[in-house]
Homo-oligomer: A and B are copies of this chain.
């Protein structure tokens, strides 16, 4: 509790299987609370870890970013080693850096990249079951690609937002309007596996999972590209498809500064 105040930026990865998501909640095992508890033990300070976003229960992260303010004198390498020694094996700290005092993991972010992994064959490899969603189906790629082309750009994504989830304090007055710079669907590493990727300036609650759930209707021939376009324009959640399961979703990266 002695030195100058420092702003420390963490990049971390986690297997979301055993967590009720990122955000601290009473009586639930969450990633934020788990990392905060280790930081409090190391620094003997009451501190808050600010995450770049709130992943849901079961969602994984390959490159979440978070920051906290502290007066500890422990060097960044010591924080990195100490956290990885104390944390459970399903959370790993990839990087610890000193950050500008004004850096905030959420408000400074310029974009995020999510991946959603899917397996459409008849029987899934058990070693993949926690990291890709299994939907045995015929998967028609062409109409999916046409829908992804419609999604690129700036839209009101209300149709793909979880009901009753809007927190006006978090949206900076932009409502449900977000920009998707990149969206793709490519074959995954195994036959009949697929990876969706979305790069945007921000994402509404459940947005990626609702997009994937609706695109799956298109892939299976249960919704046409025209109907998908209507859903997007309608700004009405009840027209879109179901929310795809959490296990296939990965927060890949959070961007600060110019996007790729």
Binding site for B on A (CB under 8 A): 13-15, 60, 62, 84, 89-94, 123-127, 129-131, 189, 250
Residue ID in chain B nearest A189 by CB atoms: B189
Q: Out of B60, B92, B126, which one reaches A90, CB within 8 Å?
A: B126
Can you spell out 13 A-B residue pairs with CB atoms less than 8 angstroms apart?
A13-B127, A14-B126, A60-B126, A60-B127, A84-B123, A89-B126, A89-B129, A90-B126, A91-B126, A92-B124, A93-B123, A127-B130, A127-B131
Tell me the interface secondary structure of chain A in the complex: mixed
- Measured in the bound complex, the distance between the Cα atoms of B66 and A71 in whole Å is 61
Q: Which residue of B lies closest to A93 (CB)?
A: B123
Q: In the complex, how many angstroms separate the beta carbon of A1 from the nearest chain B beta carbon? A: 29
- Contact for A15 among B84, B90, B129, CB less than 8 A: B129
Q: Which residues of B contact A60 (CB under 8 A)?
A: 126-127
CB nearest to A89 among chain B residues: B129
The minimal Cβ–Cβ distance linking A246 to chain B, given in whole angstroms, is: 13
Which of B92, B124, B126, B129 has a CB less than 8 Å from the CB of A126? B92
Smallest CB-CB A-B distances: 10 pairs: A15-B126, A90-B126, A15-B127, A92-B123, A92-B126, A94-B123, A13-B125, A60-B127, A14-B126, A89-B129
CA distance A94 to B89 in the complex (A): 31
Can you name the residue of chain B whose Cβ is closest to the Cβ of A122? B94
A98 → chain B, closest Cβ, in Å? 19
B92 touches A13 (CB 8 A): no
- Rounded to whole Å, the gap between the CB of A241 and the closest CB of chain B is 24
Contacts of A189 in B (CB 8 A): 189
Residues of B within 8 A of A125 (CB): 13, 62, 92
- Give the CA-CA distance A231 to B131 in the complex, in Å: 40
